[in-house]
Amino acid sequence: MNSVEPNVIPFPTIRRFPAYLRLLKDLAGNGKEWISATTLAEDLKLKPIQVRKDMACTGVEGKPKVGFQVSELILAIEHYLGWDDTTYAALIGAGNLGSALIGYKGFVDNGLRIIAIFDKDRRKVGRQVGGIVISQLEDLAETVKELKIHIAILTVPAEAAQSVAEYAVASGIKGIWNFAPKSLNLPDGVVIQKTDLATSFAELSAKLKASE
């Protein structure tokens, strides 16, 4: 790469990165050192040309007839996503979904560590979930500063989402992963990522309809 460009990677490619990463780690675990775009494509049900384009975004160069070095790809993708560093997160909303996320083992692969839990409900404060004591929301700002927390994972009811998000931003949170089914309006510069079950189910519904 000779260009001075900051190397912007298209979002569709970024969304495919985790699937590549998992497959590559599997391959590495099985002692495989090289992999071709053709094979990756087959396993992930993508077209080889698309995989080659995606791999080009990682900056890793392949060898004709051989493919790409597995370890090199893993490092490049992990580094691009920042998953080789730990991101500390606070979870807000210790309900069903929140507890499930606390218990989710997969986040270690993403360098994501939930190290604090908050809830508005005073009756929950003091209880533990997954070995972490639930704190009162009022302590958020202090904890964010103290533990160098960058992101908040929002698993509160829809009605509370906007106000809690504003409170989180005021407490120093830079990024919000919003699981509440509510679109958030926050100042520019705050990063928002929504994960919405209904959106995903809508896709499934449309596909089912189309397949009939």
- Minimum separation from the CB atom of position 210 to DNA (A): 13
What is the rounded CA–CA span in Å between residue 168 and residue 175? Answer: 9
Kindly state whether residue 103 participates in binding its own copies, applying the rule CB under 8 A.
Answer: yes
Nearest to 92 by CA among 122, 137, 125: 137
Kindly state whether residue 132 participates in binding its own copies, applying the rule CB under 8 A.
Answer: no
Residue pair 7/78 in contact by the 8 Å Cβ criterion: no
What is the rounded CA–CA span in Å between residue 127 and residue 136? Answer: 11
Give CA angle at 11 (9, 16), nearest 5°.
95
Question: 144-159: string of b/e by CB count within 10 Å (b at 16+)?
Answer: beeeebbbbbbbbeee
Q: Which of 21, 67, 90, 119 binds DNA (CB under 7 A)?
A: 67
What is the rounded CA–CA span in Å between residue 10 and residue 38? Answer: 21
> Which of the listed partners (its own copies, DNA, none) does 29 bind, with a CB threshold of 5 to 8 Å by partner kind?
none
Kindly state whether residue 22 participates in binding its own copies, applying the rule CB under 8 A.
Answer: yes
Kindly state whether residue 56 participates in binding its own copies, applying the rule CB under 8 A.
Answer: no
Give the residue with the Cβ less far from DNA, 63 or 113. Answer: 63
Kindly state whether residue 11 participates in binding its own copies, applying the rule CB under 8 A.
Answer: yes
- Summarize as ranges the residues that interact with DNA (CB under 7 A): 10-13, 36-38, 46-50, 52-53, 55-56, 61-68
- Summarize as ranges the residues that interact with its own copies (CB under 8 A): 9, 11, 14-15, 17-19, 21-23, 43-45, 80-83, 87, 95-97, 99-100, 103-104, 106-107, 109-110, 112, 150-151, 158, 174-175, 177, 181-183, 185, 189, 191, 193, 195-209, 211
